[in-house]
Chains A and B, each alone.
Chain A
Amino acid sequence: MDPLLRDLYQEVILDHGKHPRNLRHPAAANRQARGYNPLCGDQVTIYLVCDAAGRIADVAFEGKGCAISIASASMMTEVLRGKTEAEARRLFDDFHRLCTENGFTLEDASAEDRDALERLQVLSGVREFPVRVKCATLAWHAMHSALEGGDQATTE
């Protein structure tokens, strides 16, 4: 098997793609945004439950998409829970760099993001597949939009 493909479709990604975590609509969601990739028509909706202290108490998603976009959404929900909004925004920036910057390593990220990024690192295989970067970042753009009070994010 092509090593670049093996790297893109690691077991963890295939597992999250087939069995996504937090695939639901929390009744208490107080922020939400839809992410849309016009290239393939994929869409995910991200739900956030932000508490009074500005922490993300719960995060979940619904949607349909390719293995990469669903795995990314699923993994995002796992790493975001308990983070403050500011932390989520910072992690968004670091995750974006992880997916797009060649040579980007955990040392280049904010120290506080390294644990989460270590788990997310399996998604960095998209760097070799430029058209798939949007798949990996779709849910993150939607999450970011939800934090900003928007209700839509596209990958364009």
Chain B
Amino acid sequence: MATAETLTTPAAGSNSVQAFDVARVRADFPILRQHVHGKPLVYLDSGASAQKPRQVLEAMDEVLTTCYANVHRGAYYFSQHLTDRYEGVRTTVARFLNAASDQEIVFTRNVTEAINLVAHSFGSRLAAGDEVIISEMEHHANIVPWQLLRDRAGITLKVVPVADDGSFLLDEYESMLGPKTRLVALTHTSNVLGTVTPMKEIIRLAHKAGVPVLVDGAQAVVHGKVDVRDLDADFYAFTGHKLYGPTAIGVLYGKAELLKQMPPFLGGGDMIRSVSFAETTYADPPHRFEAGTPPIVEAIGLGAAIDYVTAIGQDAIAAHEAGLLAYATERLSQVEGLRIYGTAKEKAAIISFTLDDIHAHDIGTIVDREGVAIRVGHHCAQPLMARFGVAATARASMGLYNTPAEIDALARALEKVKELFG
């Protein structure tokens, strides 16, 4: 059996500048020094929202205290300066995703808004009988916008089922692609099961049928390198706050030729070319889709977060997390009565579980008293909960700052849960 003492962090990936040093990483996150109920914080809820390194906090603070102004507006120095930096983050994001151009990067508030943007704008051309394919393991953010489109336009939703081990059923998916399919909208990594879907093959099959693909990458960009051109994704959405950046800043990548054809989503300032009461013309993408004053400081924070993870090396982070996942899977499996949901071969560092017949809410309350923060509930994926016949699960989601010792702390806290419930 591996223990916290004997488990060594896997060797860093070949692309990383240096070996991954979790102690040094942890020192970058001031919040990790906090105590909860007198116990050191064990933060295992990065899948819901990740903590922020001081590099992100300092970048945002620096803007607010030295050069804040609105962007795309002023003729004065600060506005011009910050506009350049804000637009510079677009370039940073484009490089991060390996997009062909920064004009393919639309800033949104989060993944939810990015998907709603596509559902409204791309979706405005869909009509009754047209089909959109999603899957059983989608977050509500990739279900409800399509149901709203169904209500507006009469489209049909097709739902790809999930295998018992949580893996994506490629054959079932392929059989759903048909002449009426207009869009495939699927997660790259399940926020509940951790399953990494075979996205490259999913996209290849869709394109063979002439169908574009929207990828919900909220969990995926956090755990490994994403290359939208290698995937050949048509749309790819992710959010800042799960990537060690701030809230209220998300990204929608869209292929230039698709974005160009799409009508605006929200109307207002910044997204127009000229406005008169007779006729208004719209800006080109990406600004066409960014109405109103954007989340400027948050965008700067996102840029800093991307710089942070790329400096450490996404391969090194992925290797560290793979080691954590293997350790946690083994360690938690030793807790009698613990059942893990989602055991797909390709899996991110997310473990959903139940413990005997103890409700997840009770588990969450009790482990919290030990300083351990985990998510409990339906994880905004109620159809998936129904699929596995549970009302709720507990979920430990790991990030680059977690350690095997923290997994041990969770396991010990779970023993206390069992003790209490006898």
Contacts and interface: CB of A to CB of B under 8 A. Distances in A.
Name the residue among A2, A64, A131 with the largest chain B CB count within 10 angstroms.
A2
B369 A41 contact: no
Interface string B350-389: 0000000011111001100100000011100010010000
Interface stretch (B103-111, B395-403, B413-421): B413-421
A41 B391 contact: yes
B392 interface: yes
A37 B37 CA distance: 26
Given A14-B422, A41-B382, A4 B361 contact: no
B392 A41 contact: yes
Contacts of B416: 1
Contacts of A64: 391
B245 to A, nearest CB: 26
B362 A68 contact: yes
Given A40-B376, A66-B359, A2 B365 contact: no
Interface in A41-77: 41-42, 64-68
Contacts of A39: 377
B391 A40 contact: yes
Contacts of A1: 416, 419-420
Interface residues of B, number: 21
Interface in A98-155: 129, 131-132, 135
A135 B37 CA distance: 22
Given A1-B416, A4-B369, A5-B366, A41 B377 contact: yes
Contacts of A41: 377-378, 382, 385, 391-392
B369 A42 contact: no
A5 B37 CA distance: 12
A66 B422 contact: no
Nearest to B370: A2
Contact of A135 (B361, B385, B420): B361
Nearest to A63: B391
Nearest to A4: B369
A67 to B, nearest CB: 5
A144 B205 CA distance: 54
A64 B362 CA distance: 13
A14 B385 CA distance: 25
Contact of A40 (B358, B366, B377, B421): B377
A132 B422 CA distance: 21
Contacts of B391: 40-42, 64-65
A41 B390 CA distance: 10
Given A1-B419, A5-B420, A14-B421, A40 B360 contact: yes
A91 interface: no
B141 to A, nearest CB: 16
Nearest to A70: B359
A40 to B, nearest CB: 5
**What 6 pairs between A and B have smallest CB-CB spacing?**
A66-B359, A66-B361, A41-B378, A40-B377, A2-B369, A66-B362
Given A40-B359, A40-B378, A41-B385, 20 more contacts: A2-B369, A4-B369, A5-B366, A5-B420, A6-B420, A8-B365, A9-B362, A9-B421, A40-B360, A40-B376, A40-B391, A41-B382, A42-B391, A64-B391, A65-B361, A66-B361, A67-B362, A68-B361, A68-B362, A129-B365
Interface of B: 37, 358-362, 365-366, 369, 376-378, 382, 385, 391-392, 416, 419-422
26 contacts: A1-B420, A2-B37, A2-B369, A4-B369, A5-B365, A5-B420, A6-B420, A8-B365, A9-B362, A9-B420, A9-B421, A40-B359, A40-B361, A40-B391, A40-B392, A41-B377, A41-B385, A41-B391, A41-B392, A42-B359, A42-B391, A65-B391, A67-B358, A67-B362, A132-B365, A135-B361
